[in-house]
Structure 1
Amino acid sequence: MARYEIFNKLFNAFILIGMTIVTVVVTAIKFQDAGSGRVMLVVAAFGSLMGVLSTVFSANGRILTFLFGLIDVSIYGVMCLTGAKYGNAALHLLYFLPMQFVGYLQWRKRGASDGERVHARRLDSRKWLLFGSLFLVGLLAAYFILCALDKTEAAGVIRWLVLMDALSMMCNILGQLLLSTAYMEQWIFWIGVNIASVVMWVLTLRESPDSSYALIYVVKYSFYLLNSLNGLRIWLALSREEK
């Protein structure tokens, strides 16, 4: 158990320190070329750091995740709105934001406090089928709705940027619901969110190299991906303890 806790502390430190260093360096480099976007660049960097704190606390089952998450989702929602990521903008401002309060209350009911981790649990086979069906139906619906709304990308057989936006949107919706109700399977969806978000912001950076804040989000979600893999490992153990 001692080695387990030591590894968690070292990994958390790696994520927090690594993200801070990279964010500061990237911000400093991009700051000179950002022009009128300098304010947005700095705000995006700050929001990214708040988001990392939120995800680290979430991975460790700590209720403080919702405090830092409140700041992160507010900033990220505005950034998505300015970057024409309408699916993610609506998701963060209309769903993620109020769900920070819902999650806080639900975790308190499941034993979480300043010094105690939340009591985690797992989905049964029937709930797995329900969430899987919701994901597939929601993904298709979100993709076609966003295709109709997004006029910035040329039509094609598959509009990859829109697809990544829709994929991230659905994984976020289900991941947040499972997070708020303390289910281990949330991390499967968070891994999907982070992969889709990295791809989405890489595509944005490739198509609009002058998007000063896009590179920060590529870095942010790369660190999130590492943290979500660690979160899955921790919550597998936490949910096993509840059986």
Structure 2
Amino acid sequence: MAKRTRKTGKLYTCASCGERRVLDEMRHLGSTRGKAPSTCRECRDSHPTDSWCDPHSQWHPVGLFRKNGQGRPGYRNRCMEADSYQASRKRGIPRVTCESCQESMDSWTFSQRRNWTPTCRKCVDLNPGQRWCRDCRTWLDESKFCRTGKDGKFRATRCTPCRAAYSHSVTVAEVLRLQGTTTPCCAACGATSNLKIDHDHTCCPAERSCGRCVRGYLCHECNTAEGLLKTPERAASLAVYMAKFTTP
């Protein structure tokens, strides 16, 4: 059987400069196999921190691309955004409405998996350092959202007060109405940080509740003290004891 020989005279068009190049001028240095890249080596050398995306027909930062597989040098000819778009179209995923701008878009324009958000990437880029709260329906500072996942890699889709209320089947407005206040705060000491939802454990012994036995917000310290003391009489007795040894 005759040995196959590579046709070296074939010319390839560089997607960036439009010049016709031979295969050796298209490949990465040291590469002898695989499909020829979309751009010539000269154009890639003039864009050292970028890579070419065929669907977008422009250069993007290399951080937006996956590397070529099987140990081949360089990056894929589609950015990750284009990959997501192609995958969503292939699976026939329905369009999603952004909760911030109310525009209907393809699902690939939203962050996916554990980092999923109800807002499109465009709105996220327009609000740096902020995050959309699904219940407040507004942009808030990222510090108002608790971290989730391993090593706190992700953030919740609801701010801390809304997340606490959601886990007890109520809204922040309903809890504030019970307390008679306008902003979330501890019903005992007035603290505004590290708030928990207080509920009747005789009705719902677990951490979550049905919503009907919710009594209001308590800070972590007051909520812990209430859980340990259990009865008003015991709390009153402890208060008398502490007052006895308090220095005027």
TM-score, normalisation: structure 1: 0.16
Higher relative contact order (CA 8 A, sep 6+): 1
Higher strand share: 2
Pick the structure with greater CA Rg.
2
